Structure 1
Amino acid sequence: MIDIETGTDDAGATEPRSKNKETEKKKRSRVKQLLGDVKKQVEFWFGDVNLHKDRFLRKIIEESDDGYVDISVLASFNRMKKLTTDTKLIARALKNSSVVEVNLEGNKVRRQFPIGNIPNDTDSRTVYVELLPKDVTHSWIDRVFTKCGNVVYVSIPRYKSSGDSKGFAFVEFEKEEQAQKAIEMLNNPPEDAPRKPGIFPKTKSRKPIPLTSDNPPLGTIN
């Protein structure tokens, strides 16, 4: 059928509408993914594992009368900058968080519960990894080691002058048996693992994890 006013048929009119729906669907999907990534990032920052090591953020929380941190501070962190600097979007992402809560004004965030005690088994759950490429990323390490268990913290020491990795990292798992599984994987790499140094990591035992704020952990601030 021909549309008398526009001179187009029904098929021609339907196609733009279909494309618009598809575009809107993709847009909603991207926003949903972004909100999820923001929520995951903030919950990590305010989680027990990170706060026991992150002296900078812990100091801000301790100096606050009510434990709140301005969302604008979080938006200034390099990791968040890669996601968004929109403070309203960050507040929106945290609306249903089980870890943090946003104030009524929507411009500050704090933990819902007091921080727990420092665990005494951190070393046994942490794996030292070496022979890493200088451009290694937290997401790459997370992807490699997630197959061994739940990775709760990653520290990649970097040169301040260049920002390049120093070639090693510390990977903390939720449970000790997961760390042991990671050590086993590193010492006995799968058949399809690259054999060249700097591509597939190796490990050494009994290496303590550093508690320095200048070594940004998995998805963290700087």
Structure 2
Amino acid sequence: MSDFVYKGEDFDDKVRKQVEFYFSDSNLQTDKFLWRIFEANDGWVELKTILTFGRMRQYRPEERVIEALKNSDKLVLSADGASIKRKDPLKDFNELRNIRKRNSVHVEGFPAKLSQDDLEEFFEKKIAPKLPKEKSVASIRRIRTKAKKEFFGTIDVEFKTQEDADYFIKELKICYPQGVLDENSEVEQKDELKKMSLLAFQELKEGGKRFGVNEVTKRRNSFNDSKGGSKQRKTSIDKRQKNSNGSGSDSGLESGAISEAAEDKLQEDNGDEAKESKESKDSSETAKSNEDKE
């Protein structure tokens, strides 16, 4: 357990926000570990399990966490305070999955050094206030390489309404760390964050195409076409997609990155995967569940 204990004045708010996210429509449909417990126990999950999650370890003592959760309008504690569940029944998973896909946007171009907290703060302070409907987002999922679990600047952000998602894509020009750019902003186009709907991105991915075209990719594609390399490239992409079990996103969301930098990173990691030991692959599911949840 980490020695760090969060002591900010917003302790209660942070605890409620984090645990409410774990039980949210957005998270439960992708968090296989938590969902199995949720489903097997009529929605109840022991608080001691929640407290082992990476982002909850900083909140102690347990008694203070319990007091904070008592004031949640989305969760309910058992009489002894040992377990917790959501108040509202969960919607049909197929419906939730369709909502998530419609409301999600794929974004590339963030610095690779950013943490989950950095991204959440950026959207909370710089993006959410500009949205037309809800002034917050449902979730942010950092996409990480499969082998090394490294974030490389790509996220999938789920908005609470499709209207907000469409507005974010079509009406806002975004740059990190500035936020929303106006007409007078002196930022080069190449420095703007690239964004498109998750559905459109998945169609590109299935077609083996890149997200965005620049002079480098134009020259490379021209060279491949003249040398017959485009067919080999497509075969390589199709093979990688077939062998992949997911994107390595923080919450298990299936995705990937097809920008030039992101794809090159994934190709590098695919080579590393062959070197992984069988012991690593056979690590227990319980151990995986206690990794940092973001």
RCO higher in 1 or 2 (8 Å CA, sep ≥ 6)?
Answer: 1
CA distance in 1: counterparts of 2:246 and 2:61, whole angstroms: 29
Residue 90 of structure 2 aligns to a residue in which SS? coil
- CA, structure 1 residues 98+142, in 2 after alignment: closer, same or farther (shift >3 Å)? same
RMSD of equivalent CA atoms: 3.0
CA distance in 2: counterparts of 1:81 and 1:180, whole angstroms: 36
2:159 corresponding residue in structure 1: 173
1:165-204 aligned at under 5 Å gives the runs: 165-183=151-169, 184-186=171-173, 189-190=181-182, 191-192=184-185, 194-195=187-188, 200-204=192-196
* TM-fit CA distance, 1:186: 3.2
> What do the CA deviations read for 1:9-57 (whole angstroms, capped 9, x no partner)?
xxxxxxxxxxxxxxxxxxxx944x1011101111111111211222221
For 2:99, which of 118, 121, 125 is the aligned residue? Answer: 121
Task: Specify the structure having the higher radius of gyration (Cα).
Answer: 1
- CA, structure 1 residues 37+221, in 2 after alignment: closer, same or farther (shift >3 Å)? same
CA distance in 2: counterparts of 1:109 and 1:213, whole angstroms: 30
1:50 corresponding residue in structure 2: 27
For 2:17, which of 20, 23, 40 is the aligned residue? Answer: 40
1:78 corresponding residue in structure 2: 54
1:134 paired with 2:112, answer yes
Partner amino acid for 1:139? E
CA distance in 2: counterparts of 1:96 and 1:194, whole angstroms: 44
Residue 166 of structure 1 aligns to a residue in which SS? strand
Taking structure 1 as the reference length, the TM-score comes to 0.71
Residue 144 of structure 2 aligns to a residue in which SS? coil
Taking structure 2 as the reference length, the TM-score comes to 0.55
CA distance in 1: counterparts of 2:77 and 2:51, whole angstroms: 14
> What do the CA deviations read for 1:71-106 (whole angstroms, capped 9, x no partner)?
111111111124x14322221111122211111111
For 2:201, which of 192, 197, 207 is the aligned residue? Answer: 207
Residue 53 of structure 1 aligns to a residue in which SS? coil
> What do the CA deviations read for 1:153-189 (whole angstroms, capped 9, x no partner)?
1111123665531221111111112112211313794
CA distance in 1: counterparts of 2:76 and 2:45, whole angstroms: 11
For 2:250, which of 211, 216, 219 is the aligned residue? Answer: 216
CA distance in 2: counterparts of 1:193 and 1:152, whole angstroms: 31
